[in-house]
Amino acid sequence: MSLTSFPGGVRPAPHDASIPKVTMPALAEMKRQGRPISALTAYDYATSRLVDEAGIDLILVGDSLAMVVLGHDNTLAVTVDEMLHHTRAVRRAVRRALVVADMPFGSYHGTVAEGLANAVRFVKEAGAEAVKIEGPRVELVRALTEAEIPVIGHLGLTPQSIHRMGGYRVQARTTETVKQLQADAQALADAGAGALVLEGIPREVAAAITAELPIPTIGIGAGPECDGQILVFHDLLGLTFAPAAKFVRRYADLGGLMRSAVEHYREDVEHRAFPSDEESYHLPEAARGALGPGRTIQKTRALRKA
């Protein structure tokens, strides 16, 4: 047992009460006002709640969970059912941020109708407020928009294309590929995408696309000129087991903190220093006789404090 809600259901106020709930139109308004959008991935109740209470605008239940939570080598293996399971947990935790579900590999790569049906599941069964899809899938973006499902595009280094790209490589480094990326970004915006994640592209390219597009860009490894920034929760907090990418800024070493806390707990158990008498329940005096004379002698010290 562990408690997940505050007694009486009281929640601390989000840090910026001036935007009570972040919506897709609110992100567009932030771009218009030149206010940077903060975004972060999260995959479970506790961390999403912390992220939400810290005032992050957009929480992406990213398919990166395949790697950082489930331990796969890339993002391809995670299923729709697994993504739904995590999106539901995040949904239960979040009050203010926009909750976006990442559509996993294979869930929108067939027909538009299949992609639409899977996207509906994220909204209907898991409470997502938008979905994110990788690549220039203009027809699908149009269909989702017509079906009232806000959609965020994702261009540049698209991790679900790892095999086509031959690894995780910075994209759009030639005149031709830059032009293609600009055209794809414009086409997604024209089709109704509400925002666009730009990943692993030169800063200059992201800056140009951000200036050209009417919708917000959210960068990851795409430089500071994007309208917003997103990172993977585990990268930000040092909960990964490989060297971080160049674009990651590690704001804490939670991995180190967690390891040392768990070691401390193990040592306390091994030295019988945990639990203490104060951390134990005690038998009421009237019931002490039930243990018999032999047992009460062993417990005398504890019972005296009860």
Active site residues per annotation? 199
- Helices 138-146, 112-126: inter-axial angle, 10-degree rounding: 50
Q: Looking at beta carbons only, is 7 or 51 nearer to ligand KIV?
A: 51
Least Å distance between CB 159 and ligand KIV? 7
Torsions phi, psi for 232 (to 5 deg) = -85, 130
Question: Mapping DSSP to helix (H, G, I), strand (E, B) and coil, where does residue 44 land?
Answer: coil
**Cα dihedral sign, 84-90-93-94:** negative
Q: Is residue 220 involved in binding ligand KIV (CB under 6 A)?
A: yes
Q: Looking at beta carbons only, is 53 or 199 nearer to ligand KIV?
A: 199
Choices 24-32, 60-68, 89-97, 184-192; region in contact with ligand KIV by CB under 6 A? 60-68
Q: Is residue 221 involved in binding ligand KIV (CB under 6 A)?
A: no
Q: Is residue 219 involved in binding ligand KIV (CB under 6 A)?
A: no
Q: Which two tokens stand for residue 253?
A: 């070493």
Choices 42-50, 62-70, 104-112, 296-304; region in contact with ligand KIV by CB under 6 A? 62-70
- Burial classification of residue 126, based on how many CB atoms lie within 10 Å of its CB (0-12 exposed, 13-18 middle, 19 or more buried): buried
Which DSSP symbol is given to 286?
G
Q: Is residue 232 involved in binding ligand KIV (CB under 6 A)?
A: yes
Q: Which two tokens stand for residue 164?
A: 């086509």
Least Å distance between CB 156 and ligand KIV? 10
Least Å distance between CB 23 and ligand KIV? 20
- Kindly tell me which residue out of 14, 62, 153, 216 binds ligand KIV, with binding defined by CB under 6 A: 62
Rg, Å, the chain Cα set:
24
Q: Is residue 129 involved in binding ligand KIV (CB under 6 A)?
A: no
The residue written with tokens 């925002």 in the block is 195
Q: Is residue 102 involved in binding ligand KIV (CB under 6 A)?
A: yes
What is the CA 101 to chain-centroid distance, rounded? 9
Q: Is residue 41 involved in binding ligand KIV (CB under 6 A)?
A: yes
Q: Is residue 63 involved in binding ligand KIV (CB under 6 A)?
A: yes
Report d(CA 160, CA 72) in Å as an integer: 13
Report d(CA 88, CA 96) in Å as an integer: 15
Q: Is residue 87 involved in binding ligand KIV (CB under 6 A)?
A: no
Comparing every residue's Cβ against ligand KIV, the nearest one is 62
Residues interacting with ligand KIV, by CB under 6 A?
A: 41, 60, 62-64, 102, 197, 199, 220, 230, 232
